[in-house]
Structure 1
Amino acid sequence: MQITRSSTDTAKGPADWFTGDVYIDAVAAAPSPSRVTANLVHFMPGARTHWHRHPLSQTVFVSEGVGLCQRRGGPVEVIRPGDRVLFEADEEHWHGAAPNRLMVHLAINEGDDDHDVVHWLEPVTDEEYAATAAS
Protein backbone atom coordinates (compact mmCIF):
# COMPACT_ATOMS: atom_id res chain seq x y z
CA MET A 1 0.00 0.00 0.00
CA GLN A 2 1.17 3.51 -0.78
CA ILE A 3 -0.45 6.70 0.50
CA THR A 4 0.45 9.89 -1.30
CA ARG A 5 -0.38 12.94 0.77
CA SER A 6 -1.74 15.85 -1.18
CA SER A 7 1.19 18.09 -1.98
CA THR A 8 0.50 19.04 -5.56
CA ASP A 9 -1.16 22.39 -6.13
CA THR A 10 -4.15 22.73 -8.41
CA ALA A 11 -2.85 23.56 -11.90
CA LYS A 12 -4.40 26.04 -14.30
CA GLY A 13 -5.23 24.31 -17.58
CA PRO A 14 -2.92 25.58 -20.34
CA ALA A 15 -4.35 27.81 -23.06
CA ASP A 16 -3.06 25.49 -25.78
CA TRP A 17 -5.33 22.71 -24.44
CA PHE A 18 -8.39 24.64 -23.19
CA THR A 19 -10.62 27.62 -23.87
CA GLY A 20 -11.76 29.41 -20.73
CA ASP A 21 -10.86 28.76 -17.12
CA VAL A 22 -10.03 25.14 -16.35
CA TYR A 23 -8.27 23.75 -13.26
CA ILE A 24 -6.68 20.32 -12.90
CA ASP A 25 -5.98 18.23 -9.80
CA ALA A 26 -3.81 15.13 -10.29
CA VAL A 27 -5.48 12.04 -8.83
CA ALA A 28 -3.47 9.04 -10.03
CA ALA A 29 -0.26 8.41 -11.94
CA ALA A 30 0.87 4.93 -10.98
CA PRO A 31 4.41 3.88 -11.87
CA SER A 32 5.08 1.47 -14.73
CA PRO A 33 3.88 -1.09 -15.67
CA SER A 34 0.58 0.69 -14.96
CA ARG A 35 -0.58 2.83 -17.88
CA VAL A 36 -3.38 4.66 -16.09
CA THR A 37 -3.54 8.32 -15.11
CA ALA A 38 -6.49 10.20 -13.67
CA ASN A 39 -7.17 13.90 -13.17
CA LEU A 40 -10.05 15.78 -11.61
CA VAL A 41 -10.81 18.58 -14.08
CA HIS A 42 -12.85 21.65 -13.10
CA PHE A 43 -14.41 23.59 -16.01
CA MET A 44 -15.85 27.01 -15.26
CA PRO A 45 -19.04 27.94 -17.20
CA GLY A 46 -18.33 28.02 -20.94
CA ALA A 47 -14.87 26.47 -20.61
CA ARG A 48 -13.96 23.48 -22.77
CA THR A 49 -11.14 21.42 -24.14
CA HIS A 50 -9.75 21.87 -27.62
CA TRP A 51 -10.49 19.13 -30.11
CA HIS A 52 -8.27 16.18 -29.21
CA ARG A 53 -7.89 12.41 -29.36
CA HIS A 54 -6.50 9.66 -27.13
CA PRO A 55 -4.62 6.74 -28.78
CA LEU A 56 -5.75 4.36 -25.99
CA SER A 57 -9.21 5.89 -25.35
CA GLN A 58 -10.47 8.05 -22.48
CA THR A 59 -13.22 7.72 -19.91
CA VAL A 60 -14.67 10.72 -18.12
CA PHE A 61 -16.94 10.48 -15.08
CA VAL A 62 -18.98 13.59 -14.33
CA SER A 63 -19.07 14.39 -10.62
CA GLU A 64 -20.63 17.86 -10.55
CA GLY A 65 -22.47 20.38 -12.70
CA VAL A 66 -23.62 20.16 -16.31
CA GLY A 67 -21.35 19.59 -19.26
CA LEU A 68 -21.31 19.14 -22.99
CA CYS A 69 -19.33 16.73 -25.13
CA GLN A 70 -19.15 15.97 -28.82
CA ARG A 71 -17.28 13.62 -31.09
CA ARG A 72 -16.21 14.99 -34.47
CA GLY A 73 -19.21 14.89 -36.81
CA GLY A 74 -21.66 13.82 -34.08
CA PRO A 75 -24.31 15.63 -32.09
CA VAL A 76 -23.62 17.51 -28.87
CA GLU A 77 -24.49 15.51 -25.77
CA VAL A 78 -25.41 16.96 -22.39
CA ILE A 79 -23.65 15.18 -19.51
CA ARG A 80 -24.58 15.30 -15.82
CA PRO A 81 -23.32 13.92 -12.50
CA GLY A 82 -23.01 10.14 -12.57
CA ASP A 83 -22.67 9.98 -16.38
CA ARG A 84 -19.69 8.09 -17.80
CA VAL A 85 -18.43 8.89 -21.29
CA LEU A 86 -16.08 6.58 -23.18
CA PHE A 87 -14.24 8.21 -26.05
CA GLU A 88 -12.94 5.43 -28.29
CA ALA A 89 -9.27 5.20 -29.24
CA ASP A 90 -8.33 8.03 -31.64
CA GLU A 91 -11.88 9.44 -31.67
CA GLU A 92 -11.61 13.22 -32.11
CA HIS A 93 -13.76 14.96 -29.52
CA TRP A 94 -14.11 17.80 -27.02
CA HIS A 95 -15.80 18.19 -23.64
CA GLY A 96 -16.45 21.00 -21.19
CA ALA A 97 -18.96 22.96 -19.16
CA ALA A 98 -22.35 24.18 -20.29
CA PRO A 99 -22.49 27.95 -20.95
CA ASN A 100 -24.14 28.76 -17.63
CA ARG A 101 -22.93 25.90 -15.36
CA LEU A 102 -19.61 24.63 -14.12
CA MET A 103 -18.71 20.99 -14.68
CA VAL A 104 -16.27 18.73 -12.89
CA HIS A 105 -15.19 15.35 -14.21
CA LEU A 106 -12.66 12.67 -13.47
CA ALA A 107 -10.63 12.01 -16.65
CA ILE A 108 -9.13 8.52 -16.83
CA ASN A 109 -6.48 7.97 -19.49
CA GLU A 110 -3.88 5.45 -20.58
CA GLY A 111 -0.46 5.98 -22.10
CA ASP A 112 2.77 4.04 -22.48
CA ASP A 113 6.09 4.23 -24.28
CA ASP A 114 4.35 3.55 -27.60
CA HIS A 115 1.20 5.65 -27.08
CA ASP A 116 0.91 9.25 -25.94
CA VAL A 117 -1.93 9.98 -23.53
CA VAL A 118 -3.39 12.71 -25.76
CA HIS A 119 -2.91 14.49 -29.08
CA TRP A 120 -4.18 18.07 -28.92
CA LEU A 121 -5.78 19.59 -32.03
CA GLU A 122 -7.35 22.96 -32.83
CA PRO A 123 -9.58 24.93 -30.45
CA VAL A 124 -13.34 24.51 -30.52
CA THR A 125 -14.33 27.89 -31.92
CA ASP A 126 -16.84 30.14 -30.19
CA GLU A 127 -19.13 29.57 -33.19
CA GLU A 128 -18.86 25.76 -32.89
CA TYR A 129 -19.46 25.95 -29.14
CA ALA A 130 -22.42 28.35 -29.49
CA ALA A 131 -23.98 26.10 -32.15
CA THR A 132 -23.64 22.97 -30.04
CA ALA A 133 -24.62 24.63 -26.78
CA ALA A 134 -27.85 25.87 -28.39
CA SER A 135 -28.94 22.39 -29.44
Structure 2
Amino acid sequence: MKQIVTLLLSILIVSSCCSKSTLERARTNIFPKGGKVTNNNFTGNVWLQMLGQEEQTLNTGVGNVTFEPGARTKWHLHPGGQIILVTDGIGYYQEKGQPKKILHKGDVIKCPANVEHWHGASENSYFVQIAVTDNKKGSVEWLQPVTEEEYHK
Protein backbone atom coordinates (compact mmCIF):
# COMPACT_ATOMS: atom_id res chain seq x y z
CA MET A 1 0.00 0.00 0.00
CA LYS A 2 2.93 2.34 0.74
CA GLN A 3 4.18 1.97 -2.87
CA ILE A 4 0.75 2.89 -4.28
CA VAL A 5 0.44 5.96 -2.05
CA THR A 6 3.97 7.07 -3.05
CA LEU A 7 3.11 6.68 -6.74
CA LEU A 8 -0.15 8.63 -6.41
CA LEU A 9 1.53 11.44 -4.47
CA SER A 10 4.27 11.62 -7.14
CA ILE A 11 1.63 12.06 -9.85
CA LEU A 12 0.03 14.89 -7.89
CA ILE A 13 3.39 16.61 -7.29
CA VAL A 14 4.39 16.41 -10.96
CA SER A 15 1.03 17.90 -11.97
CA SER A 16 1.74 20.95 -9.79
CA CYS A 17 4.70 21.82 -12.06
CA CYS A 18 2.61 22.03 -15.22
CA SER A 19 1.40 25.14 -17.00
CA LYS A 20 -2.04 26.43 -16.03
CA SER A 21 -3.79 25.06 -19.13
CA THR A 22 -2.17 21.64 -18.66
CA LEU A 23 -2.98 21.69 -14.97
CA GLU A 24 -6.63 22.57 -15.67
CA ARG A 25 -6.88 19.58 -18.05
CA ALA A 26 -5.25 17.28 -15.48
CA ARG A 27 -7.65 18.53 -12.82
CA THR A 28 -10.65 17.26 -14.70
CA ASN A 29 -9.09 14.32 -16.54
CA ILE A 30 -6.34 12.88 -14.34
CA PHE A 31 -8.48 9.78 -13.65
CA PRO A 32 -11.82 8.80 -15.18
CA LYS A 33 -14.95 9.73 -13.23
CA GLY A 34 -16.22 6.16 -13.51
CA GLY A 35 -19.71 4.82 -13.21
CA LYS A 36 -22.51 6.06 -11.00
CA VAL A 37 -22.76 4.13 -7.73
CA THR A 38 -26.18 2.47 -7.47
CA ASN A 39 -26.03 0.80 -4.05
CA ASN A 40 -27.54 2.27 -0.89
CA ASN A 41 -24.24 2.98 0.90
CA PHE A 42 -24.30 6.65 -0.17
CA THR A 43 -26.61 9.64 0.07
CA GLY A 44 -26.75 11.64 -3.17
CA ASN A 45 -24.96 11.00 -6.46
CA VAL A 46 -21.52 9.41 -6.35
CA TRP A 47 -19.28 8.00 -9.11
CA LEU A 48 -16.51 5.42 -8.70
CA GLN A 49 -13.61 4.41 -10.92
CA MET A 50 -11.47 1.62 -9.50
CA LEU A 51 -7.81 2.13 -10.39
CA GLY A 52 -5.94 -1.08 -11.09
CA GLN A 53 -9.14 -2.94 -10.20
CA GLU A 54 -9.00 -4.66 -6.83
CA GLU A 55 -5.25 -5.20 -6.64
CA GLN A 56 -4.93 -8.87 -5.68
CA THR A 57 -1.15 -8.99 -5.27
CA LEU A 58 -1.03 -6.10 -2.80
CA ASN A 59 -4.51 -6.69 -1.34
CA THR A 60 -5.23 -3.01 -1.86
CA GLY A 61 -8.25 -1.24 -3.32
CA VAL A 62 -7.66 2.15 -4.97
CA GLY A 63 -10.65 4.10 -6.21
CA ASN A 64 -11.26 7.55 -7.64
CA VAL A 65 -14.51 8.70 -6.02
CA THR A 66 -16.49 11.77 -7.13
CA PHE A 67 -19.26 13.16 -4.90
CA GLU A 68 -21.76 15.76 -6.10
CA PRO A 69 -22.50 18.60 -3.62
CA GLY A 70 -24.18 17.16 -0.51
CA ALA A 71 -23.37 13.52 -1.38
CA ARG A 72 -21.71 11.36 1.25
CA THR A 73 -21.04 7.83 2.46
CA LYS A 74 -22.87 6.08 5.26
CA TRP A 75 -21.00 5.67 8.52
CA HIS A 76 -18.60 2.79 7.90
CA LEU A 77 -15.29 1.26 8.94
CA HIS A 78 -12.39 -0.52 7.29
CA PRO A 79 -10.78 -3.47 9.09
CA GLY A 80 -7.45 -2.62 7.41
CA GLY A 81 -7.74 1.19 7.58
CA GLN A 82 -8.01 3.70 4.75
CA ILE A 83 -6.10 6.64 3.28
CA ILE A 84 -8.02 9.44 1.52
CA LEU A 85 -6.14 11.70 -0.92
CA VAL A 86 -8.17 14.80 -1.79
CA THR A 87 -7.71 15.75 -5.46
CA ASP A 88 -10.43 18.37 -5.99
CA GLY A 89 -13.30 20.26 -4.40
CA ILE A 90 -14.29 20.75 -0.78
CA GLY A 91 -15.34 17.82 1.35
CA TYR A 92 -15.96 16.62 4.86
CA TYR A 93 -14.52 13.80 6.97
CA GLN A 94 -15.68 12.80 10.43
CA GLU A 95 -14.76 10.05 12.84
CA LYS A 96 -17.36 8.95 15.37
CA GLY A 97 -17.25 11.20 18.45
CA GLN A 98 -14.95 13.76 16.77
CA PRO A 99 -15.67 17.11 15.09
CA LYS A 100 -16.17 17.15 11.32
CA LYS A 101 -13.07 18.17 9.32
CA ILE A 102 -13.25 20.33 6.20
CA LEU A 103 -11.09 18.91 3.40
CA HIS A 104 -9.42 20.71 0.49
CA LYS A 105 -7.34 19.64 -2.50
CA GLY A 106 -4.03 18.23 -1.29
CA ASP A 107 -5.28 17.05 2.11
CA VAL A 108 -4.49 13.50 3.22
CA ILE A 109 -6.61 11.64 5.76
CA LYS A 110 -5.31 8.50 7.46
CA CYS A 111 -8.23 6.61 8.93
CA PRO A 112 -7.11 3.92 11.37
CA ALA A 113 -8.46 0.37 11.18
CA ASN A 114 -11.94 -0.21 12.59
CA VAL A 115 -12.69 3.48 13.24
CA GLU A 116 -16.26 4.49 12.33
CA HIS A 117 -16.24 7.43 9.94
CA TRP A 118 -17.94 9.03 6.95
CA HIS A 119 -16.78 11.34 4.17
CA GLY A 120 -18.26 13.24 1.26
CA ALA A 121 -18.81 16.58 -0.44
CA SER A 122 -19.67 19.89 1.19
CA GLU A 123 -23.10 21.39 0.52
CA ASN A 124 -21.84 23.65 -2.29
CA SER A 125 -18.93 21.83 -3.93
CA TYR A 126 -18.11 18.64 -5.72
CA PHE A 127 -15.52 16.55 -3.91
CA VAL A 128 -13.06 14.16 -5.53
CA GLN A 129 -10.87 11.75 -3.59
CA ILE A 130 -8.65 8.78 -4.16
CA ALA A 131 -9.45 6.17 -1.53
CA VAL A 132 -6.71 3.65 -0.73
CA THR A 133 -7.92 0.71 1.32
CA ASP A 134 -5.99 -2.21 2.77
CA ASN A 135 -8.20 -5.23 2.10
CA LYS A 136 -6.02 -7.88 3.82
CA LYS A 137 -8.11 -7.84 7.00
CA GLY A 138 -11.55 -7.78 5.38
CA SER A 139 -14.01 -5.64 3.46
CA VAL A 140 -15.64 -2.37 4.43
CA GLU A 141 -18.42 -2.66 7.01
CA TRP A 142 -21.31 -0.34 6.15
CA LEU A 143 -23.33 1.07 9.05
CA GLN A 144 -26.19 3.60 9.37
CA PRO A 145 -26.72 6.64 7.12
CA VAL A 146 -25.31 10.02 8.18
CA THR A 147 -28.28 12.07 9.35
CA GLU A 148 -28.93 15.59 8.08
CA GLU A 149 -28.19 16.85 11.61
CA GLU A 150 -24.80 15.06 11.68
CA TYR A 151 -23.97 16.27 8.17
CA HIS A 152 -24.74 19.92 8.91
CA LYS A 153 -23.24 20.03 12.42
TM-score scaled by structure 1?
0.84
In the alignment, which residue of structure 2 is the partner of 1:74?
A: 98
Rounded Cα–Cα distance in structure 2 between residues aligned with 1:18 and 1:45: 13
Paired letter, 1:83: D
Runs of 4+ in 1 over 4 A off after TM superposition: none
Identity level (%): 36
Q: Pairwise mapping of residues 95-110 of structure 1 onto structure 2 (< 5 A)?
A: 95-110=119-134
In the alignment, which residue of structure 1 is the partner of 2:43?
A: 19
Paired letter, 1:30: E
In the alignment, which residue of structure 2 is the partner of 1:130?
A: 152
In the alignment, which residue of structure 1 is the partner of 2:111?
A: 87
Rounded Cα–Cα distance in structure 1 between residues aligned with 2:79 and 2:95: 15
**Is the partner of 1:123 in helix, strand or coil?**
coil
In the alignment, which residue of structure 1 is the partner of 2:75?
A: 51
**Is the partner of 1:101 in helix, strand or coil?**
coil
Structure 2 unaligned runs (5+)? 1-31
1:31 aligns with 2:56: yes
Structure 1 unaligned runs (5+)? 1-7
Alignment coverage as a number of residue pairs: 121
Query: How far off its partner does 1:9 sit?
Result: 8.6
Considering Cα pairs closer than 8 Å and 6+ residues apart, tell me whether 1 or 2 has the greater RCO.
1
Query: How far off its partner does 1:14 sit?
Result: 3.3
Work out whether residues 53 and 91 of structure 1, in 8 Å CA contact, stay in contact via their aligned partners in 2: yes
Query: How far off its partner does 1:130 sit?
Result: 1.7
Work out whether residues 49 and 124 of structure 1, in 8 Å CA contact, stay in contact via their aligned partners in 2: yes
Query: How far off its partner does 1:37 sit?
Result: 1.1
